[in-house]
Structure 1
Amino acid sequence: MSRDTREWAWEYSASRGNARLVLLSIADRIPDEQCVAWASLTSLMKRTNASRNAVRGALVALADSGELEVLDDLDGPQHSTVYRLPRAAAWLAKVAAARKDDPETYVEPLAESDPVPELDIERLRKHGIWPKAGPESDPHGQNLTGSDPDPSRQNPTPPRVRSRPLPGADSDPQNRSEPKVNRRYSSRGAANLTSAADWEIDEESRSWAQQQGHLTRLGEQGLQAADTKWRSHRAAWSPRTAAAWAADWRTWIAREHNPTPGRPNLYALPGGTPAARAGMTRAEAHTAALLAALDEPTGTE
C-alpha cells in the first residue's frame, strides 16, 4: 500500500523541497489504505538528510497545507508521533469505489467534496499504533538527542509538530538531497500550475505512449486527435501541475478508442469541413473539437 501512497505523493502533492521529502518518507511507511504511519524526528532527519529545524519546518508546512495530519490522540512505538495523509486516504478510497466494478475506469481527480474515510483504530493496533493511555507529556521535555538503534522500529519520542513552527523549510540547503527519481515533477515543478491547453506533451509521456503500443494502435493522427479531444474536455478544469496533467493524459490515451472511418474528424464542425479552419485560435479549435466530439455517433441513436 505504500506504493500507492507514494504514487499519490509524486503525482498530486503540491509540496516542495524538504516538505516533499518528508511527505514521501512518511508515505513510504504507510501500511494500508487508511494512510496512517508513525515516525520519529530522528528517522525523518536520516531519511531526508535534512537538519532538525528543516524537518520541523517541513512538517509544519505539510500540516498547514492539509496534506499531513498529526494524530495527537494516538501513539506509535516508543511514543513516536503518528501521522495521517488525509488527501491520500480520500484519493485511495475514491479510486477503490470507482473501480470496484470496472478496474479500468477513469477516476476524476480528487475534489474538495470527496470525504476522508473514518479511522478504524482497531486495525492500527497491529501496526504498533495505540490510543494514548494518559495525558500528553510536555513536548519541550522530550529527548531529541537520542539515536535510533533500529530506525525502522526503535524511535525516540519526537517533538509535536505544532509546538515550534519554523518557517523557511524550502530554502534550507538540505534541498540538494532531493531524490533524482521523477525530478522533473518534484520540488519546483510541483508548484508551477498550468492549464490543460498550455500543457505540452513531455518526452516521458510520448515514450510511454510508444512503449505501451498506443502510438501504434491510434497512429500519429489518432494520437493528435485524442490529445485535442482531451484538451477540449479539460478546458474548464482549474490549473494543475504538469505531473497531474501527464497522469490524466495517459489515462485518457489508454482508454481512447481506435479511429474508425465512420467517425468524423475530431476537428470537424457538425455539417462543416473535416479540417480546422485556417486562422483559428487555439481556444476556437478546442471549441470546434468539443462540438465535433459531442456530435459523434454513439451507436445508441
Structure 2
Amino acid sequence: MSSEAREWVFEHSSSKGTARLVLHAIADRVANDECIAWASLGSLVTRTNASRTAVRDALTALEKSGELTTLDHLEGPQRSTVYRLPRTAAWLAKVAEARRRDPDAYVEPPTGSDPVPELDEEAEKGLRRYGIWPKKGTESGTSRRNPAGTESGPSHRNPTPRRAGIRPQHGTESDTQNRREPKLNRKGSSGCAAVTLAADWQVDPASHSWARLQGHLDRLGEEGLRAADAKWRAHRAGHGPRSATAWAADWRSWIAREHSPGRPNLYAVAGSGPAPTGGITRAQQHTAALLAALNEPTGTE
C-alpha cells in the first residue's frame, strides 16, 4: 500500500516544499488500505533533512489542509505518533471499487467529496502486526500478547540514558562531607592512607637507609643531613597535608639535590662574585675556578 500512497502524494497532493516531503515520508510507512502509518518527529527530521521546527510546521499545515490526521487513540513502535492519510484512503477506496466492477475502468481524479472509509475495530486489530496498538487506558486497549506467549510485549518506555539519575545532595559514601577536608582517594595517595604535615613527618628507616646506600650520608655527614632536613621542613611548612609515602619521596628528592658542605663557590662569569686578584686575565679566572673545583693547586698561591 505504501507505493500507492506515495504515488497519490506525487500526483494529487496540494502540499508544497517541506510539507510535501513530510507527507511523502509518512506515506512511505502506510501499512494498510486505510492508509494508516506511524512516524516519530525525529525520524521525519532525519528523512526529510529539515529542522524540527520546519517539520512541526509542516505537520500543522498538512492537518489544516485535510491531507493528514493524527490518531490520538493509537500509538506506534516506541510510542511514535500514528497518522492517517484520509484523502489518500478515499482515493484508494474509489479506485478499488471501480476496478472491482471493471478492471479496465477509468477512475475520475480525486475530489474533496470522495467519502473516507470508516475505521472499524477489526481494521485496528490488523495494525498490531505493524507495532501499532491502542494506547493504554482507552476502551479498546487490550493486553499486548506476543506470539511467544508471554503476558505482555516489550515495554514502550525509552531506556534511561547512561549516567542519568539523581545526584545525592549531601555526598555519597566515597565523598567527603566537608569540602575543606582533604580527599584521600586522589592520584598519588594510597587509598585511605593517613595524611600529615611536613613538620609532623618523621624520617623513616627506609629513607635513612636510602641516604646511606646512595652515598648522601657520606657526602653530607650527619650534621649536613640534619641541616638539609631542617631546610626541607622550612620550605615545606606552607604545604598541605600529604601521605607519608609522598613526603618520603619528596624528602629523598630534596636530599639528592642538596650541596655538600664546604663546596667551593665557582665564579665562572666575570662580575658575579668577589673581585679577582689583580693582574690575571679572565681566562685565568676561569681556569682557577675549575682547578678549585677539582681541589687542584692553581699556581697562584
Choose 1 or 2 for highest CA Rg: 2
TM-score range, shorter chain: 0.3 to 0.5
Structure number with greater CO (CA < 8 Å, separation at least 6) is: 1
Give the TM-score, by structure 1 length. 0.44
